[in-house]
């Protein structure tokens, strides 16, 4: 199999007033133009030179312009690029790249090719999913009488199907892609055309952030990200790339600044990073530029202030920046992915300054316990295998910190295939929330009943602790279907790692009647009052109560509650579990952000 790369160049709207050769592939990204970044990524998966499809109505000098930045590239016009690949065989594959949808990760193309290798007869598309301010979308289903019948909640990343762009596509030549005429204007349209033609396709979500370079905000986001990555190599001084710069001696810079070749900066200029000054840029005297990406040949007039702009021409400070679209409004804050940045922000919150110590404590204690309990774990595994066969362990998908999915490990306590029986048994569920439990669960194995009663089935979760997916103390790890009932509760409990034990496990009072509101209450109390002392108290109480067999007064754990009354017992419900009302918070409990 040979891979033939094709890159589709374009002229974004924000470059309309620039020189005719100002196209997207010439935009500076870090130390190099965009085309050099793409060629470097392509070289990691194929030795074949890329074919660059020129935008419509570019001058004849375009080919030389591309060759100066990427000598190995082959330039073709939109109407004849397919002819340049006429030698491709049916066993080959086309790697089609749309730079307007730009993954930040350098390994993005290699990741796509790796997935394609396992199913070469299927077209693969590297897709960008729409970001969201809250990470939640709600849709209400209304019947013909105008009555609300169902509320659908979609969360990032658990149930998020909203696609906004395609960065790259791997399409087998055998799909007759070279005969498509006219060729679609974007890879999103190509994806639709292939499906209509009966070509099987798979979507691979981009995991580490994407920028929409068709917008000024997107280029600014990508440039700032690249400059920030390079900042560690500049020792506080501007990073000079190439030569030919004419910089005034009184140039002042702050933050990460990258300056490309042939840049002229007059006296009295101040540059505030992250800022990327492309080749041939001229910044006039006494100008102040902050958080900018200036493309080749851009000009900043003297005595002006320019900030939060990306430009390919003379910067017109009188022209307001176009408001960002739904896709780009979060790019400058989420280039590492919505979930990753969310996790970083949560871990750096002021009231979580002890988290590095908590993580160290978790690893040390979990490692010691696994060593000491190894003989017991072997015995339990043997008993499970002898009494009910394989598998010995059961990995249930749970949501962790920031909504990341992981396999929560337990010793298997139920017969195989028990998940499918849960829907049939739901009518017998006596709990008042989304979780499911039966007093005499027919799915349990004999050894499973003993393990459940003694909580020994949860000992393998110490491995989850060592892997960083769980903590010794935290909210109970729950699947997506349980977390969607109450949005504030979900946001709070997923702001910390789930725990092997927690405040709810040791303080809950109404296990038989169902205690969903207590579950909400104690999870949010833990999030608000999180700290090393509280963790130690919960661990001690877990040991003394044999895993919460007897309830502990919550004000013993959280003295800030004073003499606040305990949560009222949950009354017997008259309908199956469907509550979605927010919890009544006792004392000062709540979600602290």
pLDDT by residue (tens digit) across 354-407? Answer: 777 888 999 999 999 999 999 999 999 999 999 888 899 988 889 898 888 899
The SS3 of residue 125 is strand
Contact yes or no for 437/429 (Cβ under 8 A): yes
Report which secondary-structure segment, H or E, holds 246.
Answer: strand 246-247
How far apart are the C-alpha atoms of 504 and 490, rounded to whole Å? 15
pLDDT digit string, tens, across residues 97-114: 999 999 988 999 999 999
CA 569, distance to chain mean position in Å, is 39
Contact yes or no for 123/171 (Cβ under 8 A): yes
pTM listed for this prediction: 0.62
Q: Find the mean pLDDT for residues 221-245.
A: 81
Is the predicted pLDDT of residue 536 greater than 70, yes or no?
Answer: yes
Is the predicted pLDDT of residue 343 greater than 50, yes or no?
Answer: no
- Cα–Cα distances in angstroms (integers) from residue 244 to residues 66, 219, 274, in the given order: 21, 25, 22
- The more confidently predicted of residues 147 and 248 is 248
216-320: CATH architecture: 3 Solenoid (2.160)
Task: Please provide the CATH number assigned to the domain covering 3-212.
Answer: 3.90.550.10
Domain boundaries, the chain: 3-212, 216-320, 352-561
Edge-to-edge strands, sheet with 246-247: 246-247, 264-265, 282-283, 299-300
Mean pLDDT is highest, among 80-89, 90-99, 115-124, 302-311, for 90-99
pLDDT at 489: 82
- Residue 42's Cβ-side half-sphere holds a number of Cα atoms within 13 Å equal to 30
DSSP code, position 444:
B
pLDDT at 326: 42
The per-residue pLDDT of the chain, averaged, comes to 81
């Amino acid at each position: 199999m040979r891979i033939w790369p094709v890159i589709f160049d374009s002229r974004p709207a924000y470059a309309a007033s620039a020189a005719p050769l100002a196209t997207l592939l010439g935009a500076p990204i870090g130390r190099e133009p965009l085309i050099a970044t793409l060629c470097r990524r392509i070289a990691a998966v194929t030795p074949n030179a890329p074919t660059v499809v020129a935008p419509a109505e570019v001058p004849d000098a375009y080919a030389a312009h591309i060759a100066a930045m990427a000598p190995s590239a082959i330039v073709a016009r939109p109407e004849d690029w397919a002819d340049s690949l006429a030698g491709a065989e049916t066993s080959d594959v086309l790697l089609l790249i749309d730079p307007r949808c730009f993954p930040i990760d350098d390994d993005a193309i290699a990741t796509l090719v790796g997935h394609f290798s396992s199913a070469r007869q299927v077209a693969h598309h590297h897709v960008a999913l729409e970001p969201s301010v809250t990470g939640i979308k709600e849709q209400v289903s209304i019947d013909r009488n105008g009555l609300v019948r169902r509320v659908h909640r979609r969360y990032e990343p658990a149930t998020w199907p909203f696609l906004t762009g395609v960065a790259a596509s791997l399409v087998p030549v055998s799909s007759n892609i070279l005969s498509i005429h006219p060729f679609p204007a974007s890879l999103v349209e190509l994806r639709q055309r292939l499906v209509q033609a009966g070509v099987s396709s798979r979507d691979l979500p981009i995991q580490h952030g994407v920028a929409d370079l068709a917008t000024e905000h997107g280029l600014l986001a990508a440039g700032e990200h690249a400059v920030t990555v390079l900042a560690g190599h500049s020792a506080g001084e501007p990073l000079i790339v190439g030569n030919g710069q004419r910089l005034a001696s009184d140039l002042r810079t702050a933050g990460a600044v990258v300056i490309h070749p042939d840049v002229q900066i007059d006296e009295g200029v101040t540059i505030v990073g992250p800022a990327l000054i492309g080749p041939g840029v001229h910044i006039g005297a006494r100008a102040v530029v902050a958080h900018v990406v200036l493309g080749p040949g851009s000009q900043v007039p003297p005595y002006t202030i320019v900030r939060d702009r990306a430009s390919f021409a003379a910067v017109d400070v009188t022209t307001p920046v176009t408001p960002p679209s739904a896709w780009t409004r979060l790019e400058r804050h989420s280039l590492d992915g919505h979930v990753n940045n969310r996790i970083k922000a949560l871990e750096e919150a002021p009231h979580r300054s002890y988290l590095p110590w908590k993580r160290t404590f978790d690893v040390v204690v979990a490692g010691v316990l696994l060593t000491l309990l190894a003989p017991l774990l072997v015995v339990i595994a043997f008993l499970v295998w002898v009494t009910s066969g394989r598998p010995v362990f059961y990995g249930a998908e749970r949501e962790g910190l920031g909504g990341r999915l992981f396999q929560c490990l337990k010793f298997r306590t139920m017969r195989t295939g028990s998940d499918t029986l849960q829907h049939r048994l739901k009518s017998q569920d006596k709990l008042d929330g989304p979780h499911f439990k039966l007093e005499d669960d027919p799915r349990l194995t004999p050894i499973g009943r003993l393990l459940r009663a003694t909580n020994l089935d949860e000992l393998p979760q110490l491995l989850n602790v060592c892997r960083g997916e769980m903590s010794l103390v935290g909210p109970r790890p729950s699947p997506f279907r349980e977390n969607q009932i109450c949005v504030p509760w979900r946001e709070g409990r997923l702001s910390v790692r789930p725990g092997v034990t927690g405040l709810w496990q040791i303080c809950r009072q109404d296990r038989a009647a169902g205690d969903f509101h207590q579950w909400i209450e104690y999870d949010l109390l833990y999030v608000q009052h999180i700290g090393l002392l509280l963790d130690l108290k919960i661990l001690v109480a877990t040991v003394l109560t044999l895993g919460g067999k007897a309830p502990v007064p919550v004000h013993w754990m959280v003295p800030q509650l004073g003499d606040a009354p305990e949560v009222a017992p949950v009354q017997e419900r008259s309908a199956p579990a469907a509550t979605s009302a927010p919890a009544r918070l006792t004392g000062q409990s709540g979600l602290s952000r």
